[in-house]
Structure formats: structure tokens, C-alpha cells
Amino acid sequence: MKIGDFLKENRILLDLKASNKEEAIREIADSLKDAEEVSNFDLFIADVFERETLNSTGIGKNIAIPHARTDAVNEFTVAFGRSSAGVEFDSLDAEPAKFIFLMGTPKEKGLNSYLKILAHLTRIINKKDFQEALLRASSPKEVIEEFKRVEN
């Protein structure tokens, strides 16, 4: 499964206004309010925040991947937010997150697939040249094109 196949232009925010983790998650989540994959938006957000209390999804190197396995989505969904200033995400390396991927997957669907997606995203987003390309992207379409380029 490739991230580029799931990204949609209306779910990519290139200029996050958020100044903290909660605001960032909510700002990105707003792009999923009317998503067909999300059957219960409020439950989805609650589950993401519940997951975040277990340990931070700020994985370091300017990356955060808040996510949840939840009954509130019926298919895998992802939204992306970019912050030029960075958002404090309690990351392992104490660096602010500039690339934030909000993801949800149904509880009832394969955990293995979800873990593979997380691992795949982590692997490609850690590439410095890919991060630089995402920072240069001037439109959501360019972000999707960069994902498709690096995933092919």
C-alpha cells in the first residue's frame, strides 16, 4: 500500500497555523470532517487523542504521525499538514514536527497492513531529500506527486 494512493489534495495543508500538538491534530483533522472513510468524526478525534496519551507520535527528525485504530473509520484514511515553524510534539529528539501525518484505520481490518503502512511512511519520510521536496512543494498536488515519485 502506497501513501500517495491515499492522499487527496483537500486533505493536505501546507501552512498549518497550529502552535501546539492538540491544535495541529484538530486543524489537520478538520480536512477529514466530510471524508467518506470517517463514519464518526468526534470518535475518530477522541481515539487519536487517546492514542497520543499512550506515548507521543512525534517520532523525531521533524516528523509526527498521530494515528488510531478506531471504529470511527471504515477505510484507511490519511491527511497531511506541514508547518514551516514546526509544532512541539514531545518528539523523541525534542525537535518540533514540520511534517504531520494524521492517520486512521478500522479496528476490524488487518493490523499487519496498518503497521506496514506506518513503517513504510516512516522509512520514506526519514529521507532528507524527500523532506526537502515536501518543504519546497507549493501545492497539495506537488506533495502527492512527490509521494508517487519516491514510492515508485
Alpha helices in 30-139 (DSSP H): 41-54, 111-125, 128-136
Query: Is the pLDDT assigned to residue 101 strictly greater than 90?
Result: yes
Among residues 21, 67, 82, 98, the one annotated as catalytic is: 67
As for how many domains the chain has, the answer is 1
Is 67 labeled as catalytic in the residue annotation? yes
pLDDT confidence bin for 99, thresholds 50/70/90: very high
- Residue % of the chain over a pLDDT of 70: 99
The parent domain of residue 119 ranges over 3-151
- Residue % of the chain over a pLDDT of 90: 79
How many helices (H) and strands (E) in the chain?
Answer: 5, 6
For the domain that residue 53 is a member of, what is the CATH number? 3.40.930.10
Which residue do the cell numbers 506537488 mark?
142
Could you tell me the sign of the dihedral formed by the alpha carbons of 140, 147, 37, 64, in that order?
negative
